[in-house]
Chain A
Amino acid sequence: MAEKRVMSLVDLQAGQEGVVVGISGGHGLLRRLEALGIRPGKKVAKISSMLLRGPVVVRVDGTQLAIGFGMASRVMVEVDATG
């Protein structure tokens, strides 16, 4: 079985995929992200991130989302350590 690692969307590499395992934040943040398709169990692929702590761009369900750096750092995803 492949080893799993948990990291935030910020630390995910461009092109890498992960499954959302948790969001550390208030109820408001949770709701906003959830409505846009970021919630536990969803598969998320990182497309790019802007330099200098800029927003992170991910693909979820065939749509792209840009998430501010602070918010993205609170979304935890699980990835295959080998992948």
Chain B
Amino acid sequence: MQLAKSSSGLERVLLVGNPNVGKSALFSRLTGTYIITSNYPGTTVEFTRGYLKTDGRQVEVIDVPGTYTLQPTCKAEEVAVRMLDQGGVVINVVDATNLERNLGLTLELLERHLPLVIALNMWDDARHRGINIDVDKLEELLGVPVVPTVAVTGEGVKELVSRLADARIPEMAFSSNEERWAKVGHIVAQVQSLSHRHHTVGEAVGDLGSHPVWGFALAAVVLAAAFWTVRLIGEGIIKYITDPLFDKLWAPALMKLSSLLGSNSIWHDIIVGKLIEGEVDFTQSMGLLSTGIYIEFGVVIPYVVAFYFVLGLLEDIGYLPRLAVLMDTLLHRLGLHGYAIIPTILGFGCNVPAVMATRILESQRERFITATLISIGVPCAALQAMVVGLVGEQGLQYVAVVYGSLFVSWLTIGLILNRVTRGFSPELLVEIPLYRFPPWRLIARKLWLRISIFITEALPIVLGAVLLVNLLYIFKVFDFIASAAAPVVRGVLGLPKESVIALAVGFLRKDVAVGMLVPLALTAKQLVVASTVLAMFFPCVATFVVLLRELGVRDMLKATGIMLIAATAVGGLQNLLLPG
């Protein structure tokens, strides 16, 4: 048995464990507020780094993606193994309520001759569930320190840190997986004893969540509550925080800038935009600092915050895997697996984070199908608000036609893409964790992390996009597109020539484009066609850029082609079939 480096030589700490064992909660306990999330080079797998202060030094801590085995079965696990190859002291986070499965990974780690300390996490849960583990015996059998912890409350974390210096590399080797699992069974038999327990309330509700009938009823309730909460929070932020800030502080500042630049210069048009009745109008001025900033912070961010909050909550409670199981049957027919429901739901807030979230999917094929379907059939919050407002005036049945058309298109195009897209989509295989209520601190921290990533990644894209569209507008490119597209718009979609400009502006902002339909006095039918086509025919420019980045040029062009064809076909069909 050899001793690992002393704590003064401690270079970095790797947190390794199965998914759903409280690894991230422990990470948050160990590190301070300064954390960095990045993609592992050359992959879409994200990981988080932070720093631990111990012995007056800063030690890098890496939250390695959750893995069940070191014989990788997916990309996240490949990344986990590559990170281990770079060395460091490993804190193996073990779920005390599921010792057997977790120890499989532990033994694999020991075979790699990595200095190891075990955090026997969820210690409180194990006790409640009548699982007794002899910690000293486990330590003796494995030959490495074992510290019981409760990461969400911080219990045992101090001791864990103090024992990092005792990390050891015992000799261990197995000739086969069978032999390793036999050893695991042998260890568990010696250290674990179970007392009788009942089926808990949490488990009963847990079973309900993945019930073939009641699961859907529960999902309907949960999703309705989720969307209601998102709207409440999103509108609350806009009404009480961002709109007052824009009106009271930003607008006066922009007016000063406007008089400085002089209202006739091209710079004025690009930076401040056009003044509407002598004032800055955040939705119509189209300047970089007026509409550009407003889209990002006044329209998109409030809903993204609300969506990330609700999603984080559902994720930490443990509901998402159940939703994935329920949706798997349907999504499987579209060549996806149940987890594709997560980016799809995000898309109802904003398509940009939704396309970014397709990274959680394993294959390029799944990411392509999911992202294309989101761009076509999932209207973002801003667009929905305008559609419901404008089309809703004509009667709710028309709104239903728009949503119905989008859903049918989403489904049909998915079925087709599953047939024609090459490649293979893996089947669903997930653990369904017990429901847990996460501490608010952790939820807040995750929310903050996601929002800061969103702002740093998406803000430059949105601003760049506004600039681009401004230039196109100023140099009359839109007018050119409009006259080129006019025959199709009039002939196939039955819309007046003037609506072409609105459709072209949809490239920048779909909600503004819907607004531009107002003065055209369209009939109810025309409004339905125009709204549906706007939602489907092209992603807004920010989504377009994110699609380009996530999918690459070829798949993005393919997705765009599909959107144009689908929008024309669906709009044309509506024009033919709808009465009026």
Q: How far is the CB of B402 from chain A (nearest CB, A)?
A: 28
Contact partners of B431 in chain A: CB under 8 A: 36, 63-66
Given the known interface contacts A51-B329, A57-B325, the answer about A71 and B429 at a Cβ–Cβ threshold of 8 Å is yes
Q: How far is the CB of B459 from chain A (nearest CB, A)?
A: 37
Q: Is the interface of A mostly helix, strand, loop or mixed?
A: mixed
Interface residue? A83 (CB, 8 A): no
CB-based contact A63/B73 at 8 Å: no
Contact partners of A64 in chain B: CB under 8 A: 206, 210, 431-433
Contact partners of B68 in chain A: CB under 8 A: 32, 35-36
Contact partners of A51 in chain B: CB under 8 A: 212, 329
Interface residue? B328 (CB, 8 A): yes
Contact partners of B326 in chain A: CB under 8 A: 50
Interface residue? A34 (CB, 8 A): yes
- Residue of B100, B181, B325 near A50 (CB, 8 A) is B325
Interface residue? A6 (CB, 8 A): no
Interface residue? B220 (CB, 8 A): no
- Closest A residue to B322 by beta carbon equals A66
Given the known interface contacts A50-B328, A55-B328, A57-B210, the answer about A28 and B73 at a Cβ–Cβ threshold of 8 Å is yes
Interface residue? B302 (CB, 8 A): no
CB-based contact A57/B71 at 8 Å: no
Total A-B pairs, Cβ < 8 A: 101
Determine the distance from Cα of A71 to Cα of B337 in the docked complex, in whole angstroms. Answer: 13
Contact partners of B470 in chain A: CB under 8 A: none
CB-based contact A32/B73 at 8 Å: yes
* Residue among A32, A33, A70, A71 facing the most chain B CB atoms (10 A cut-off): A32
Q: How far is the CB of B392 from chain A (nearest CB, A)?
A: 34
- Residue of B104, B321, B337 near A68 (CB, 8 A) is B337
CB-based contact B329/A53 at 8 Å: yes
Interface residue? B332 (CB, 8 A): yes
Contact partners of B104 in chain A: CB under 8 A: 35
CB-based contact B206/A36 at 8 Å: no
Write the B326-349 contact mask toward A (1 if CB under 8 angstroms, else 0). Answer: 101100100001100000000000
Determine the distance from Cα of A18 to Cα of B207 in the docked complex, in whole angstroms. Answer: 19
Write the B415-451 contact mask toward A (1 if CB under 8 angstroms, else 0). Answer: 0000000000001111111000000000000000000
Interface residues in B51-71 by Cβ distance below 8 A to A read 68-69, 71
CB-based contact B427/A48 at 8 Å: no
Contact partners of A62 in chain B: CB under 8 A: 97-98, 129
- Closest B residue to A33 by beta carbon equals B429
**Total interface residues on B, using CB and 8 Å?**
34
Contact partners of A55 in chain B: CB under 8 A: 325, 328-329, 338, 428
Q: How far is the CB of B201 from chain A (nearest CB, A)?
A: 16
* Residue among A50, A57, A70 facing the most chain B CB atoms (10 A cut-off): A50
Determine the distance from Cα of A37 to Cα of B68 in the docked complex, in whole angstroms. Answer: 10
Interface residue? A31 (CB, 8 A): yes
Q: How far is the CB of B197 from chain A (nearest CB, A)?
A: 10
Interface residues in A63-78 by Cβ distance below 8 A to B read 63-71
Interface residues in B2-24 by Cβ distance below 8 A to A read none
Determine the distance from Cα of A69 to Cα of B338 in the docked complex, in whole angstroms. Answer: 12
CB-based contact A61/B325 at 8 Å: no
Determine the distance from Cα of A71 to Cα of B574 in the docked complex, in whole angstroms. Answer: 41
Contact partners of B129 in chain A: CB under 8 A: 62
CB-based contact A50/B206 at 8 Å: no
Contact partners of B114 in chain A: CB under 8 A: none
CB-based contact B321/A37 at 8 Å: no
Contact partners of B338 in chain A: CB under 8 A: 55, 66
CB-based contact B428/A67 at 8 Å: yes
Determine the distance from Cα of A37 to Cα of B325 in the docked complex, in whole angstroms. Answer: 19
Determine the distance from Cα of A54 to Cα of B100 in the docked complex, in whole angstroms. Answer: 28
Contact partners of A49 in chain B: CB under 8 A: 212
Q: How far is the CB of B100 from chain A (nearest CB, A)?
A: 6
Contact partners of A39 in chain B: CB under 8 A: 181
Q: How far is the CB of A20 from chain B (nearest CB, A)?
A: 12
CB-based contact B71/A31 at 8 Å: yes
Which A residues are closer than 8 A to B by beta carbons? 28, 31-37, 39, 47-55, 57, 61-71
CB-CB nearest 10 A-B residue pairs: A68-B427, A54-B329, A35-B68, A35-B69, A64-B432, A68-B428, A32-B73, A66-B325, A37-B101, A57-B210
A-B CB contact pairs (8 Å), 15 listed: A31-B73, A35-B69, A35-B73, A35-B101, A35-B105, A36-B68, A36-B101, A49-B212, A50-B210, A50-B328, A53-B329, A63-B433, A66-B429, A71-B427, A71-B429
Q: Told that A32-B73, A54-B325, A63-B101 touch, could you supply 7 new A-B pairs with CB distance under 8 A?
A: A35-B69, A47-B210, A48-B211, A54-B212, A61-B100, A66-B210, A66-B432
